[in-house]
């Protein structure tokens, strides 16, 4: 007569299955996170490649409001707006507010939960992309606002870029940011910059809120067109965070 399983044997089998399911689940989570990190790096690389064309005097497309500055100067914000499809680059017809397509926008990290909406007739500096807590990628703030001292007081002054910025291969352009941390600091998340030894407003750290969401590392795209992952971006020898373009 065939012998059945004892209760102890059944418990052992169930325990083994539970361990295998647990190991498999952990592996699947790691694979999913790795895939998201790769997509994030790919998005950042796309942004840096688009910037190269935008900055090139001989190849750039329509530069939005920067066209008012002449053919050889542009603001970083106009490039940012082109990537989001907002303000003068609005691409959603007559709608006043629409959901941002996370699968098509290069300025979205797939590891960040929640959606984003974009608003018509507003620049990024006026909270055109919301909620700010869900914003996952920001640009190097020093390329938009230069740290200066005026009459003994530290100030941030907006500047314009020229094609010469493309010679600065080691300058970070865009990277992962923590929108929720920016909101806690009372600043908008679209731009960020580390203290980098600055004795002015950047030195306070108020504008530094990177996101180390990929295995404790930050994804950074550079003007040179490459993307790196680092656990200590502020002190990376490969990153020229201190660079500021001339006021113009």
pLDDT digits (tens, 9 = 90+) for 22-31: 666 665 556 6
Whether 223 is covered by a domain: the verdict is yes
Handedness of CA 212, 214, 216, 218 (dihedral sign): negative
Rounded to 5°, angle at Cα 6 from 5 and 9: 85
3-state class of 109 per DSSP? coil
pLDDT tier, 11 (very low <50, low <70, confident <90, very high otherwise): confident
CA-based end-to-end distance of the chain? 94
Whether 74 is covered by a domain: the verdict is yes
- Quick check: 71 pLDDT over 90? no
Domain that holds residue 132: 7-235
Q: How many domains does the chain have?
A: 1
Report how far residue 65's alpha carbon sits from residue 38's, in angstroms, rounded to the nearest whole number: 33
From 131-140, 218-227, 232-241, the region with the lowest mean pLDDT: 232-241
Q: What is the pLDDT of residue 59?
A: 85
Whether 153 is covered by a domain: the verdict is yes
Whether 240 is covered by a domain: the verdict is no
Whether 227 is covered by a domain: the verdict is yes
Report how far residue 93's alpha carbon sits from residue 163's, in angstroms, rounded to the nearest whole number: 32
Whether 244 is covered by a domain: the verdict is no
Distances in Å between the alpha carbon of 95 and those of 132, 134, 224?
A: 20, 21, 36
């Amino acid at each position: 007569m065939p012998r059945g399983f004892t209760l102890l044997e059944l418990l052992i089998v169930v325990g083994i299955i539970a361990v295998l399911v647990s190991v498999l689940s952990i592996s699947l989570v790691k694979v999913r996170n790795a895939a998201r990190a790769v997509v994030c790096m790919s998005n950042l690389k796309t942004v840096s490649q688009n910037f190269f064309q935008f900055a090139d005097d001989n190849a750039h497309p329509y530069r939005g409001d920067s066209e008012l500055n002449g053919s050889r100067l542009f603001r970083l914000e106009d490039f940012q707006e082109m990537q989001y499809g907002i303000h003068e680059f609005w691409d959603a017809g007559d709608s006043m507010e629409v959901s941002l397509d996370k699968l098509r926008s290069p300025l979205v990290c797939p590891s960040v939960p929640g959606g984003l909406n974009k608003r018509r007739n507003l620049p990024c500096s006026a909270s055109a992309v919301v909620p700010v807590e869900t914003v996952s990628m920001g640009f190097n703030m020093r390329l938009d606002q230069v740290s200066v001292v005026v009459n003994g007081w530290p100030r941030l002054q907006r500047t314009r870029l020229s094609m010469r910025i493309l010679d600065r291969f080691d300058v970070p352009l865009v990277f992962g940011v923590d929108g929720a941390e920016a909101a806690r600091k009372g600043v908008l998340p679209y731009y960020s910059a580390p203290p980098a030894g600055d004795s002015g407003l950047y030195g306070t750290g108020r504008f530094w809120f990177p996101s180390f969401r990929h295995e404790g590392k930050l994804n950074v795209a550079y003007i040179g067109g490459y993307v790196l992952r680092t656990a200590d971006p502020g002190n990376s020898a490969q990153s020229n965070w201190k660079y500021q373009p001339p006021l113009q």
